[in-house]
Chain A
């Protein structure tokens, strides 16, 4: 294993991770605790974007319903908390179970379709979840639920202070990055990426691509569910609005803005998205215009997203 990263993009990403690791210290020195909140939210969304990237970027499965898993994860914190069950392991276990099960059942149906049909059927399922939670008056309907206490973990794992929660999120992010890195470089990942380009070929090689893709879909759903669990803890408030289809759309932009199908792309894409949302909106109430023009320019002129620009600095033989 090399100590120093070799390419420009890898150097940037390493620097970025180091910055993230010491961010709470930086913000406490400059006395800007708000930026830690902003960053916490950004990293939670980054975990969700990473999970979407697993199916969208590597597997070519464009889901327009991924925000449903954020909602499911958040309600797996909110509903037990409503009945005064605050045990963090219970919340985490429930999140993994429910989001995994939901991904398994809907994925089994969705993966019978391809391309734009896949986009629409994932949208359909997420809308069904959305309307279900809107109608659950016991849990606040679309007014949502306030979570009084964060998930309770042993002291060394506590989420109670903003800094502790931040490191929780940061750790989940690191684990997710590492896990996805290992996954896509294992045979599993090669089958997923292979079946994106030529499914028949992978099938003729003897792989049951459907099962691989379904497993990939379930893994992605579970990771996104965990992001939702973190978001519920972070905002201390959950509502069905978290899983509207425009939220799913935003996740897609984060992935594509950073660079779909690359390990770090979704992370920098999310960072850029959250940064723009916060600071453009301080300049003018018409900031959506700037944002929209940027999206259009990104697609027309900026192939490969932010990762694409960064790796343009990498020398030829090191790319790839």
Chain B
């Protein structure tokens, strides 16, 4: 057993998990509080990356790119809530799926028109482009930055949700929306803020990953389905659930990709293991979700007191 490799893979899994958490936490709040299915949540992931990339290529500063990107995704998220989502909170889920799929097409095509079909590379400052040595372990610096940033946002979110008045309302909204409305809280404002913060976190995740994978059209559509799986597995409306489920799925996916073929080779010829392993590792998250839904439909960590 190569322990260095295992530790590297666990950190890689952690990184994927934290990215998923950034997406899923917003998704689960929008879902839990507004009962709104937002397929276009991944569009903010893409938009954030493109805005950030544009500013970085103009100014050369990653930090200013991220700040501008965060502001833009917050504004666009708020606009989507204001003009579209807000009219549909009382419609059924089918309408949400249709409208937000329409939004995906609109955002994808707009990005195509503005930035072209080619992806956009985001250069990293020299300090982040290297590697860090920890004993015999050598890791890409930027991967550690992603992990740190993810943990930081998770911590901020935790404090906000558990310690502030806004967080109290969010928690209350996720458990029992009618009650919050009955207490005379300005529910419209709460929804607007939650939606826009969710969009911002999604955009932030996009900005974090783009220096590795490039910004590209439809990059959010690829990850949003997995983020939905995280939300379902964790329990709708539960930030804690989203956190644990994101880490489980991130680790499962990464470790599956690295070790599944070795495991399968124990029981079948190499030729078949080589074919079966990628298929099975792609399926793993869906198998997990199907099992959770069949035996614990409310998810692993449903929000306290929810129906």
**Does more than half of chain B's interface fall in helix, strand or loop, or is it mixed?**
helix
CA distance A116 to B289 in the complex (A): 13
For the complex, is A128 an interface residue (Cβ under 8 Å from B)?
yes
Known: A116-B37, A288-B109. A298 touches B98 (CB 8 A): yes
Stretch at the interface among A119-127, A148-156, A163-171, A209-217: A119-127
CA distance A286 to B228 in the complex (A): 28
Q: Which of A125, A134, A245, A286 contacts B109 (CB 8 A)?
A: A286
Stretch at the interface among B15-23, B87-95, B199-207: B87-95
The residues of A that contact B148 with a CB separation of less than 8 Å are: none
B225 contacts A245, C-beta separation under 8 Å: yes
B103 contacts A120, C-beta separation under 8 Å: no
For the complex, is A14 an interface residue (Cβ under 8 Å from B)?
no
For the complex, is A115 an interface residue (Cβ under 8 Å from B)?
yes
For the complex, is A50 an interface residue (Cβ under 8 Å from B)?
no
CA distance A8 to B232 in the complex (A): 44
B275 contacts A293, C-beta separation under 8 Å: no
CA distance A295 to B98 in the complex (A): 7
**What per-residue 1/0 map shows which CB atoms of A101-125 lie under 8 Å from chain B?**
0000000010011011101110111
Q: Which of A123, A125, A128, A294 contacts B102 (CB 8 A)?
A: A294
Interface residues on A, range: 35 or more
CA distance A123 to B289 in the complex (A): 10
A135 contacts B275, C-beta separation under 8 Å: yes
A249 contacts B236, C-beta separation under 8 Å: no
B290 contacts A124, C-beta separation under 8 Å: yes
CA distance A124 to B288 in the complex (A): 9
**Which residues of A265-309 are within 8 A (CB) of B?**
286, 288-289, 291-296, 298-300
Known: A117-B297, A296-B99. A131 touches B282 (CB 8 A): yes
Known: A135-B278, A289-B105. A125 touches B290 (CB 8 A): yes
User: What residues make up the interface of B, taking CB atoms closer than 8 Å to A?
Assistant: 31, 37, 84, 87-88, 91, 93-95, 97-99, 101-106, 108-110, 112-113, 225, 228-229, 232, 236, 275-276, 278-279, 282-283, 286-287, 289-290, 293-294, 297
Q: List 18 A-B contacts (CB under 8 A).
A: A62-B93, A62-B97, A109-B294, A112-B294, A117-B232, A117-B293, A119-B93, A124-B287, A131-B283, A132-B283, A134-B279, A137-B275, A253-B101, A289-B106, A292-B103, A295-B101, A299-B91, A299-B95
The 10 A-B pairs with the shortest beta carbon distances in the complex, nearest first, are A292-B105, A295-B102, A135-B279, A289-B109, A292-B106, A124-B286, A296-B102, A292-B102, A288-B105, A124-B290
